[in-house]
Structure formats: structure tokens, C-alpha cells
Structure 1
């Protein structure tokens, strides 16, 4: 049926006597009236063969007939034509099959109803072959009869193959109330045997087709599905270069959430089940599931806000072949977030954090005492306050405050979720009544280290440091579920889901960047600072070699921090070789032309890759904020596709496992390097870093 069906997304209504199981059958087919994929010459020849054979073997079938005192010349009766086919071929097992075969000839105008009815019926109705429309139609010669006898079986085989399509088109052309239970049974059975088909074929008529109260407006490169004269789905024709069998396909531009979902569940799920040869696998079991799932989804969606539509739509685009990313499910585990852990858990392989996981978390009071609470990762601010209130036994109305190391206070909203992982590097949560907010002060531990760790890591190989950094970054990156990008972009508060894994990975970028600045600003000796710059440039080069672009950018951005780049005496002492490397690395960070230099570099890399995650987040955010989600009540599907493409970049980067062998240890052992890279301590107060920088090299007067 390739090219004959298009997705109209209507509900096939039943007649008054129809079995109830078909009353709300969602059928995603639409009729392209009287269009055949088989060349007309073959059908014309088939009609001639059948007429000649009937005149040769059963001439009484074609004769003048009377009905209501009117004579109809040289015509056949529908039931007799069906009987004749049943007797002359073994490939027809039911009368409905024979009806479909005669319908093929009727659609092509080779067989016509005497009153120009558009469908063939197995009834006492009169039909006439095209050759008998004229008076004195010639009878077949003996030679023609012989040729027709020889071609009969091939002709019947051809008609039996395309007959079901014609029969289905005939049924779909009926008004909903005219369809019988048998008709709907045929529709259902045919849907279980539909072959691979293009979404919309070029054979679709370029005029409006009315069916089930739905109209289809086919323009040059656009198809608009309308209901009650309003667009509900807009499709655009594109070249499908990857498929030789179907060079054209239609992609969604916009539509209502329901219609887009129906389209995706029908066409994409079907496509995913086809092999290259076009055969459908396990379709008998699969299609009913699609129908049920579609109906259930539409019912569910009617109860949720519009943002839920977006999640489902983007998820369907991106994860159409699976409900998750194919990873084995992990058992529920307790998570201790890094800044409050004992440190041992950081040496263990990271496991993805789930919304249902629980954490132990310290929440401080204004006097720097604290309460340890146990709540789900995705707990809201309101739930955290309730847990702290129960722990303290306080009767005051408490507020939850995020206090960073600079003393800046952020009052968290009651509906905010997953707040634990979104704190600043050295940020802490405080709870207090409103009148005590101004008296809150940072904890001493929030200030960060007072001395650098160069004496420790200068003995470590730069390549080993980069390798251990990449291993840890990969663990964090691999834990980030693709859904978290969607939650982060559209607002996790709408979904009540955590983005903890993504937050921790982004946090790691800031941590590495501040680590570079902290170590340089805490190094009092000029020669040592020069060695530090060389060390960090080497580590950045090895990160680039390991395709860890996230830490590569973090290190280069750390070296470009105002507190570091202003140290002119230090940079003057840096060898020209390293200055050249640094300039090359900076050029990769050039933001001009939408970060073209970086994007070209990534395009040449093969996975596994740890991408520059802040840029992916920026792409998602710009796409979301720069494009309307709904236009005239239709979902802007182009926006959804752009977001999905960004998600696919992340999927591509992780399509291969990271199994880089560790470099040969020099100086410190791999375990020491590993422990160091997972326990870096930083100063995250830019004001403090600037003050330290000016102490090292005061401003020139």
C-alpha cells in the first residue's frame, strides 16, 4: 500500500450495529482516491484478459439484463463476477478478496457500474467492461482467447496482490456511519499487514480530500492537516537520501500535541520495525500495542500542563527506539553529595543519581549549628523546610537560604526542586526566620584553602593528571541522563525531576576552572607560578588529546581569569613555546560565528568525547528562549527538532566507551593522582582571588 496511505489521525466511527470494540479504534490512514501504483497498461491488459476469458468460458455472464423495465446492455452481475473468480483461481480464499480484485478494475475505469457507483459490491448490481460501453463491441478472436487463457493465472495473481489495497480504499471512502462491522474488521486486519510505506507519497492528489471531518491540503512541499478549517498538523517534504526505496519523506513542522504524538507513535514506531528489505517484523503483536498506547497517551495528556507535552514530544524524537537510554537499571542507593562526604565515596565509581534516591544533607542555622536531614534528591524547598522544622522542633516560620562564600544570600522559592546539587562550589544551605536573614554569615570552611597544593601535584605527571581528570569527568558525564537536558531547559520545577547528575557535571567544570585560579593565586613564588602555568598548559594539552574538551576549556578559562591573566610578570617569564600553545588553545575558545572554531574541531573527533557542556546548555537555552513553543495553538516542532539535535550530540559523544589506558606512572602512583584529582579544594570567591592576585603582583603605578 506504499503511497496510498497518509496519516489523517481521525477516529473511525462505527455504525449502529458495530461491535463495541471498534467504536473508538484509532486508525491512522487516509484515502488518496483512485490512485494506483501499478501502471495503467497492466491493469488495462488485465481487464481485457478477464473479459476475453469470460466470453470464452462463460459467455452467459456478459449479456443484456433488465431491471425495473430498463434494459442494461452487455453487463455483468456483481455476485456472478465474484463467483467466477472464486472458481478460476486458488489464490482467492474469500469473497472479499474477489471484491477487492474487481475494485481494482473499477478504480481504473476498466469496469464500471452502470449508474457510475464508485465501489464494487458483491450484490445484485450491474457492471460493464469498458470495451462493452460502445455498441457492436468486437468479440475476441480465437488467437486472443488463447493468449488470454495463457495469461489468466498471472493476471489473477497480479489482481490478488493489489486487490486488498483497492478494497481498503473503497471502505475508507465510505461515510463513517455506512461502514459495517465487516468493513471495520477488514480495516483492522489490513493494518496488521501494512507493508513499509512512505509517510506521504508523491501520488497523493493535490486537492482537498474530505474524510472523517478532516481535510488534507497538499501544497508544493507542505501538507496541512485541518480539522474544522484549522491547521492541526503541518508536514514538510524533504529528501530522504539515506533510503533508496523511499527517496521522499515528510517531517513535522508544527501541530497540536495530540496530532504530533499520534503521528510519531504511528509512523516512527512502524519505521523502526522495518528491515532494509521492507518486511515488517512482529507486526501482529506490535500494532495493537501502538493503538492502545496512543489512546492512553492522549487521555493522560489531557490532564497535564503544556510543558508536559514538550517533554513527551522531545523525548519521542530523541528516544524513539527505547523508553530509556538502554542502560541497565541500578538499584536504589543513598547518595552523599560530594562537599559533605567523607571522601571515600569519591574514589568509588560514580552511579547515576535518581529522583527517588535519598541524601543526607547538612542545613545550617544562623549560629552555625546544623541539622542533618534525610530527604529525596528531588525534594522541594517546602519539603526541606518541613524536614528541618521537624528536626529542630521549631514553631517559627522558617525560610531556606543559599549562602555562598562571598556572603551573598539567595532566598529559595518553595517550589524549587533538586536544590542540593545546584549550590555554588562552596555554597551552603541555611534555614532561619525572615528577621535573621541579614545576620547570616558564611562558615569558615566556605572560604576555601589558605595554601596551594603545588608541592603535592608538581611531582605528578601532567599526562597522568589529565588522564585521571578525564576518567572522573567521564564518570560524571556518563551519569547524566539525556532527559536532564530537557528538564534543565524547560524548568525542572515543571517536571518534579532532578537534574543532579547534570548539575554535578557542570559543577565540575567550575571546580576545575577555579582550581587553576586558586593554585596560581596561592603560589607566592614567581618561578613556581611560571612552573604552574606550564603545568596547566601541559594538562590542558593532554585533556585535548584525551578528547576531554570540558576540562580542557575549564583549564584555559581558568588561565584567562582576571586574577591570573593580570599577572604580567609571571606571563613574561613563560617560555614562548608555551605562550604559543596557550594562544592556539585560546583560539579554540573564540566565541565568534557561534563558536565555529570549537564546533569544527569537535566535528573531526570520533567518540568517546567529553564535550564542552556549558556550550551545549547554551545551545539548548538559546533555542528554547529564542523560539516560541506554541504558534497559533500548534507546537513549533522545528524548535523541538533543534533541541533534539543538541541532545543527539551528547548521545553521539557517549556512543563509545572510554577505555583509554593509563599512562606510565612517574613520581606519584595512579592511586595518589586519582585521589588528588577527586579531592581538589578551591576558592570560589572572585573578590578573594583578586585580592590574592594583587598581593602577588601589585598594580603598577
Structure 2
């Protein structure tokens, strides 16, 4: 980096005077950030650039003139290690090499930057953290497994009190069995062993797990000892006082409705009050019946779509609107919905109650229809509810015809399988690679054409297909054909990379081919095509390829860096679909 700066902007490294004192061969923090942002599109924001310089600061390549531990985007002086040791200026050959290596160096620092930035922020005392700092910590907490059951309000509270703690050596004891519980720990990096006297190691906890909560909740001694299993483990620590305060706030702001000792509806008090001045509650979890009943009870009679409550209801129905049978049956419930029985009272009061219930249900149905219009035309239960009458004979004839056609297709497929039990020559796959024609094509043009095709497939996916895939398409009787095709495309690109590399017999050509794929992956990232980008990377990480090169790092270690990167990229993008679907089952389990 120093040589690249001396090659492109040598004026940045020079003697500086400040308060009658001269600092030799220094750079200014703001100038370093400006320069790095201008060098590559993979540097998304100034805070991202700060994290990248923080990596060099932690490694000792860069240092603050007053030995401060955090890099800041301010008029502060920093010095490269080579300048402290009075290393001579680089030669023209060294400058040329630094120019060639600069893109790879920036890409590496871009991957390491978010972690370094987070560590720097967590080293700050809680009272010195800015709003942007708290937002970065909060974004990190969203992806920690141990906090997945907590609400966003609680996570924001935790973001303001978390303290960073690290231990360098394996075998270090975090706390001993029988000690008083003073802190709660979340494992950010590394792993630990849980040791109980007389039993030894009972389990191992890894990144994302938490330890020490039981002693704080029950106010009892530690039930086990925690011993570091590997070097350089990082923890996020919450002290007992903050832990108890946040828990009390959670209990005060959470309402739990139980039936037969089972929680059927959990509400959290929202910081925003309703337009009528009442307390507004957000649904955290519950059974579909209770969630719907809560909406019916709290729905305003106003039907204007400008009502913020309508937007919240519309968003919620995107998640529960496909449970047609449950919704329709619940609306037909004679106790509390459309045909609700009025409580004792005068005739006028009973009439007003009945009209109010019917109007409330009709209001919900109208809004439901606005969100799921095409589903109302397909779902039998919804059609029955809306009293759409058709000729039963015609439907019976159609079902019989479809059943006969389906049986015919199945029989034809089975007969074909019997006639051709072995693969045809065309199904065996290629016997020679396409290196000769492949190397003549532009890497950027290939990446562009791949992006166009991937975008066409991705645009056809309906958001409901993600829900069908997560919760089981058999539960909805719906197809996920577009999503399946897009996932198949990922596998095709990945296996295409493996096939081309393995079919390339000459070592020199194989090296050129790997460089070609790396360039294509880099261009895919520039085009925001993260799906093909990861497909190529994982193809080169396939055992059949890594056995040849032994140079590829497991891309799964960059999943959190991927999520942080996605939040900083302006849409539209083509996401890494396998990772997106990987997080869906956990979310579904929580809901």
C-alpha cells in the first residue's frame, strides 16, 4: 500500500507540522480514506475504508504517531512501518509490482475490514460510541445465533453495552465452576470447552453460542468452567448490571398470552404510539389464529390506505396470508368473527356489535385481497368464502381429465426409464474442455452475459416461492419452479468451473484457466451478480480442483462479510441464493 501511494500520490507521505512540532513522513487519516475510496468500487463507504486501514493498524503495518489503537477518519497523523525504519524509496520495479498487486490487496482488505471496524468500535467505552457505531454493532448482532430469539429493541439495547474481550492462548479459563456470575459472554470467534468437575468436557461451544447466562438469570454460582479450546478467541461481554436491566426492560415491555400453559401470542410494546394515543404493540410470535384475532381486534374502522396501520397489516399478511384454510376457518368462527354472538344487552347494542364485527372482517378481506389477488382466484377455500359459484360437473370433468393426463405422462416416463436404463453417450458429459475457444473470449463480456441470463431467471422468482421452499411446498400446494431453476443455474455454473479445470490436462493452461475464472468472478462482483460470483468461487474450492491447487480458502468463512457487503450495495443485485435460503429455516423456526 505504501509503494502504491508513493507511485500514485507521493504528496500524501511527507513531513507534517502541527502545534510547532514536526512529524516525519506521515499521512493524514482523512487523506488515506479519500485515496482508498477512489481506488476501487469494492470500497463501499468511508467507514468501510476506515475498517480496511484498521486492519493494517492492528497488524503493525501502519501506526498512529501517538500510538493510539484505533484508526479515525480525522486530521490525525499515521506512519507506515517502512517510514519509521527509514526504508529507502521504492524503485520503479517495486512500484510496478505494487500497482499489479494493489487490486488483490484492496479486495483482501475489503473482506477483513468489517471485522476490524467492529473490533475497533467494541474497544471504545460504551459512552463514547456514536450513533453510526451503534448501528454497525446492531447489524452484527442480527446475525448472531445466540441472540436470534431476542427482539430488535433488545438487540439495540445490547449494542450500547457490549464490551469486547479477547484471549490469546488456548487453555485460558474464562471462568471457573462455583464462581459468582458477573458477566454473560457471546463467542464471536473461536471455540470453548464446557468442563464440569467429575465429568470432564461435556460439550464444545463455537462461534455464535453464548455462555454464562444461567448464573445471571438464577443468581446462582457458575455451573461449569469455560476453557478456551483454541488460540485467539474473541468474546462479546455483557456485565451483570446491564444484563439484569435489559431483562427487566424486556419483561416490562412484553405481553405474553397463554392458554393451557402454552404461549399462544407474544406482543412487544412499540416505542411509537398509535394515532389515537394508545399504546401500540408489535406481534413477536403466536399461533395463526391468535395473530389474526389480534389484527381483527386492533384494526381501525378507517379503510383509507394511507393509514400507517394498513402498511403494517399489509406487511404482516405477506407472512400469514398463505395460510388460507386457517384464515378462512377462523373468519367463519361463530364466536369472535363474522358471525360473532353479541353479548347480552339492548337490541340496539347487539345490532351495533354484529355490524361492527362484520365490517371488521370485510375490511380485513378487502385488504387481504389487495395483497393476494391472484391467490383468491386459485384457492378453493377462498373461492368458497367469497361465494363464487361454479358448475360442479365441469370441475369434476376437469379434474378427471387432468388426472388421466397425469397418469399417461407417468406411464410414458416409466416406459422410457425401462427402455433406456443406462445413460446415452450425450449424457456422459464432455471428454475434452473448451479452453481453446474459452480463452479467446473477454472475461468481462462473459461475466456480463452471465449476469443478463441470471437476472432474467432471478426476475421470474416470486417472493412467495421462498416461503414455499422454506416451510415446505406440500403445505401450500404451490410450485417453486422458478426458484428451482435459479438454484439449478448455480449448480450448473459451479460444476462448469470444476469440469473445465479437471478436463484441462496441461499445468500451464490450467493456471491460465484459473486466472480466467478469477477475472470472471471479479467482473460478476462488479456487475452485482453475487450468485454467479460465489458459484465460480465455490467451483474453484471444489475438492476436485483444490486438490490440484491447494490454494483456495473455504468461502463459507466469508458469509458474515457477504451479508455486510450486501447491505452496502445499491440495488438491484442478484443475491447468493443458497446462503439466502440457508437463513430462512432458522427464521421460520423462530417465527
Q: Normalized against structure 1, the TM-score is what?
A: 0.34
RCO comparison, higher one (Cα < 8 Å, 6+) = 1
Q: Which has the higher helix share?
A: 2
Larger Rg: 1
Q: Normalized against structure 2, the TM-score is what?
A: 0.40
